[in-house]
Structure 1
Amino acid sequence: MLYIKHEVEVRNKQTIDLNQGDIPPDLVIEIDITSGSLNKFPIYSALEIPEIWRYDGNTLQIYGLNKNTKTYEKIKQSLAFPLLNITLIPQWLKQRLIIGENATLKQVREWIKGQTT
């Protein structure tokens, strides 16, 4: 679970307790490579987590919470990282196995620099 938009509000907290009124995370990332996992979407919906990324070893799917229906729908662009081309993430993860983590991180940094100039 990641805090992006609300990171400042939880920065110095040692523990986060949603039952005590702490803000829910902005993003949940599920990695499920070996088998289909339990559908936790109803739990995330009850917590009002706005975005879920689900990676199965090949494909990254992004879901956004529909606040009216309290269900998740596939979306094409991240709410938390709107400038990120999500199709690159699975490529970087696979590339890491071939050229190594450091070389891949260097390429990711170069891509980020290219987006911010």
Structure 2
Amino acid sequence: MFYLKNEPLVRNKQYIDLNKGDVAPDLAIEIDITSGSLDKFPIYAALGVEEIWRYDGQVLRFYGLNKNREIYEEMSKSIAFPKLDIALIPQWLEQRLIIGETAVLKQVRKWVKEQKN
């Protein structure tokens, strides 16, 4: 799980305790190659994790908590990274096998710089 928007609230904390008022992570990423993660969604919702990315080895999906903060609904855009095209991530993962991780990281960095402009 990752802190993005809420990172300043937990920065420099040695331990995070949600039971003592610390905020939930903003993003969880689940890779479902050998086992499914859908059963974990209610747990993430109870914690207050706003967004989940779920990759099953072929398809990446973004999920966001609904307005009642009870269940996750599939989304076409990431809350944490609204400019990120969901199709780019599986492409980068595939390219990593062909051109190598370093070359793909350079592509990702280039893409990030282009988004700032």
Please indicate, yes or no, whether the TM-score normalized by the shorter chain is above 0.5: yes
Name the structure 1 match of 2:16: 16
TM-score (norm 2): 0.93
Name the structure 1 match of 2:81: 81
In the TM superposition, residue 75 of structure 1 has moved relative to its aligned partner by 0.4
Poorly superposed stretches of 4+, deviation over 6 Å? none
Name the structure 2 match of 1:67: 67
- SS of corresponding position for 1:42: helix
| Separation in structure 2 between the aligned mates of residue 80 and residue 38 of structure 1, nearest angstrom | 20
**Counterpart amino acid of 1:60?**
L
In the TM superposition, residue 48 of structure 1 has moved relative to its aligned partner by 1.3
Structure 1 residues 40 and 50: CA distance shift in structure 2, 3 A: same
| Separation in structure 1 between the aligned mates of residue 42 and residue 96 of structure 2, nearest angstrom | 33
| Separation in structure 2 between the aligned mates of residue 85 and residue 38 of structure 1, nearest angstrom | 23
**Counterpart amino acid of 2:105?**
L
| Separation in structure 2 between the aligned mates of residue 24 and residue 37 of structure 1, nearest angstrom | 18
What is the percentage of aligned positions where both structures have the same residue? Answer: 68
In the TM superposition, residue 34 of structure 1 has moved relative to its aligned partner by 2.4
Name the structure 1 match of 2:94: 94
In the TM superposition, residue 69 of structure 1 has moved relative to its aligned partner by 6.0
1:38-77 to 2 correspondences below 5 Å: 39-68=39-68, 70-77=70-77
In the TM superposition, residue 36 of structure 1 has moved relative to its aligned partner by 2.5
TM-score (norm 1): 0.93
**Counterpart amino acid of 2:68?**
N
| Separation in structure 2 between the aligned mates of residue 30 and residue 69 of structure 1, nearest angstrom | 19
In the TM superposition, residue 67 of structure 1 has moved relative to its aligned partner by 2.9
In the TM superposition, residue 84 of structure 1 has moved relative to its aligned partner by 1.1
